[in-house]
Amino acid sequence: MVAELRRRHPDLILEIELSDAVANILEQEADVAVRMQQPSQGALIARKVPPIELGFFAHVDYLARRGRPDTVADLDDHDLIGPDRHRYDLAMLDAHGSDIPLERFVARVDSHPAQLALIRAGVGIGVTQCGVGRRDPSLRQVLAEVCLPPLETWIVTHEDLRSLPRIAAVFDYLVGTFDKLATT
């Protein structure tokens, strides 16, 4: 996304912060944010975009070594990558009825990019965005029939910033790109 945004707007300078923490846009901690929860602050402009589908993925080397799970119960015989304290992620795991205790995770980290890096390194099976996992030729989706709650997604900015050309360019690009991703 970032490369295409820069091609379209080469004078744009981006400062990116990857965090699961909610930036306070009213306090100018961010100009534009991608949020996984509906904003509740009054002076914000928020556009809901299609939710992000999630699934279980593993590296082909891991699956060659350990085999492919056929059921959620089979996860008991696998190395798992997952959250440590992130409430939403823990609730999502509970939602599919696995009752996997935290002690079963061989790697626990609350950063989604770090979880993906561990999956790509062949450490074990973890949850990631289906679009990202399916585009990676070294990853395979497992337990595709297990329905995980999707990530509800909003693009958010402050109402006073929305009309600034640089903010409008980023906001509109993100909304359009997320909308396009949902149809591919």
Where residue 121 falls (left for φ over 0; alpha for ψ -120 to 50; beta otherwise) is alpha
Amino acid identity, position 84:
D
184 residues of the chain, pLDDT tens digit each: 899 999 999 999 998 888 777 778 888 888 999 988 888 878 999 999 999 999 999 999 999 999 999 998 898 899 999 887 666 666 666 665 556 666 778 898 888 899 999 999 999 999 999 999 999 999 999 999 988 888 899 999 999 999 999 999 999 999 999 888 766 5
Cα angle for residues 124, 90, 157 (degrees, 5° grid)? 105
Q: How many CB atoms lie within 10 A of CB 40?
A: 8
Distance CA 94, CA 74 (A): 16
**CA atoms within 13 Å, Cβ hemisphere of 38:** 3
Distance CA 21, CA 115 (A): 16
pLDDT in the model for residue 96: 55
Contacts of 8 (CB under 8 A, 6+ apart): 169, 173
DSSP per-residue letters across 30-64: -SEEEESS----TTEEEEEEEEEPEEEEEEHHHHH
What is the Rg, in whole angstroms, of the alpha carbon atoms belonging to the chain? 18
Q: Can you give the pTM of this predicted structure? A: 0.81
pLDDT in the model for residue 91: 63
pLDDT in the model for residue 95: 61
Amino acid identity, position 118:
L
Q: How many CB atoms lie within 10 A of CB 11?
A: 7
Beta bridge partners of 108: 82
